[in-house]
A and B are shown apart, each in its own frame.
Chain A
């Protein structure tokens, strides 16, 4: 109990970061499930959502800038898919992955150009930036809001996938790309919807994440992006509940490691955990077993 008491700030931070990771990891896992593509640019879309918030909030009121960030991030995600991934649909898998790396590079360099390489201060959002005290641990409201919001969004997403027609189409496409095309599913629409959902969740994630971190730099998307992909692989890539659980586990472990004074290893530990899981269960916690066909 005393362990819990002393480590409560870290555990709370872990749950909060885990929720933010979960929102980003869903974007990775959905895109991978459908296109079999590691969307390296997703972390940079997330970073751009943060930057946009910095720029928009400087010129317009908050009630306008938040929806604007969500909309523009969605447009960005949609545009990336149309410009960089769609032309390569029939190309080998390697090319589309390289295209993703190229987009990531481009987004980072654009951010570097616009910011001049300086860290931009993230605006303070009212209410969720306030501090609260729980059992003697001081934290921001965002820490408590994140897990609730994450779980709500995940429930909505799961309902969307299980109950609606577009959700059914998504499941079909992720099961078999070509057959679903033959069944009259408009692949391009489904893929676009996937990217739209992924970018929207990344934008929500960035609102929550940067409230905790206070500044945005051109490379601040790459490490969270990588970790969220790790979370998605951890949970079994392609599975949404897997990604969410993986993200929470990684977020909590990472912060406990920080709490133990091993800050140098907090990133490395994430990868070590992933490698151990992959060796025990090669397709992640909830991943489907793949069988080799000759």
Chain B
């Protein structure tokens, strides 16, 4: 069997990733931007980022946390508050019932980073008490914190900052993004892909570092990991904070994508959705999470859309109407969960090496059968 050299592998991976970006740019040039394809691609990339960040926690560190929606909410609001132009803050087009307390605005890049930092800062605070809990207790406590965050952001007294329970809008969304130092609008899908891609790349680097190995050791056996000299609390907290940082960034991206943001949207149902994506992709597989999130979004937003349309009804049955798509979608999810409980990728990664080996094996098998056929004659 032919071996794949390390250098060649890296090059092939780089080419593969570059191909994805080139395809996205080409699509964006040739297909009108109103196509639903772009909605799916953008939302898919945002979900891929938050799913990978959840996977870092659930799949690689073994901490069962359900707080992702709360951290996304912090990120989304931080982004919206800091990028809304002062001119709009002063009028009552958004802050109708309150006098806005934040008297400045900033560009989108610092705001995205700030969104991540805000989520990470909050995670640092709640991580100290919560990470002492184990498994399901940790899950319910983080879920509880997400609900508390949602309530606090809807609080009247914080209205001058968060606009109470009202909608935030007119901040810098995807249509306002310009290529730095020029006035050319940034292709929105490419922008989301770039930010999500950079973040996922950082997470992958982290997972492959010595910290990542410590995380995996904690996941496999806490007591053994502690005996090997890994500081349990420090590493758990680190994983929790980093995961929240990226959840915050994905929240900012979601805010940019949606044009409006409201705290009521970030319910536990959202966390469950992300958890479903992680599990369908395979717990402990970054590429699995990415693939699953695109499939999940495409399925829920695009491919099954005809099921909602009553004009496709056949035989005079009135089955297809609004809402049927979601029923079918949840049945599909149940089937996946029941019959393929390891998810799409299991805990393996989609890599050039694995593909290569598969192709080589197939070639070898073919040769073998040809040889056998010749011998039989």
Q: Which residues of A contact B (CB under 8 A)?
A: 32, 36, 38, 40, 84, 87-88, 91-92, 94-95, 98-99, 101-106, 109-110, 112-113, 116-117, 222, 226, 229-230, 233, 237, 264-265, 267-268, 270-272, 274-275, 278-279, 282-283, 292, 294
Contact = CB atoms under 8 A, between A and B. Distances in A.
A264 B279 contact: no
Contacts of B129: 275, 279
Contacts of B331: 106
Contact of A113 (B147, B272, B323): B323
Interface stretch (B42-50, B148-156, B195-203, B357-365): B148-156
A268 B152 contact: yes
Interface string B308-347: 0000000000000111101101110110011001000000
Contact of A264 (B141, B151, B269, B275): B151
* SS class, residues of chain B in contact with chain A: helix
B330 A271 contact: no
A217 B137 CA distance: 29
B144 interface: yes
A110 B321 CA distance: 12
B55 to A, nearest CB: 12
Interface of B: 64, 129-130, 132-134, 136-137, 139-141, 143-145, 147-148, 150-152, 154-156, 165, 223, 267-269, 272, 275-276, 279, 283, 321-324, 326-327, 329-331, 333-334, 337-338, 341
B322 A272 contact: no
Contact of B337 (A38, A98, A237, A278): A98
B140 A274 contact: yes
A117 B323 contact: yes
B279 A275 contact: no
18 contacts: A38-B140, A88-B338, A91-B341, A94-B64, A99-B338, A103-B334, A105-B276, A106-B333, A109-B326, A109-B329, A226-B143, A264-B151, A267-B147, A268-B147, A271-B143, A272-B148, A274-B144, A278-B133
A99 B343 CA distance: 12
A91 B144 CA distance: 27
B317 to A, nearest CB: 14
A182 to B, nearest CB: 26
A87 B324 contact: no
Contact of B151 (A84, A267, A283): A267
Contacts of B283: 94
Contacts of B165: 264
A84 B335 CA distance: 9
A106 B140 contact: no
A279 B141 CA distance: 10
B326 A112 contact: yes
A110 B165 CA distance: 29
A87 B323 CA distance: 28
A98 B338 CA distance: 9
Contacts of B333: 102, 105-106
A102 B337 CA distance: 8
A113 B337 contact: no
Nearest to B129: A279
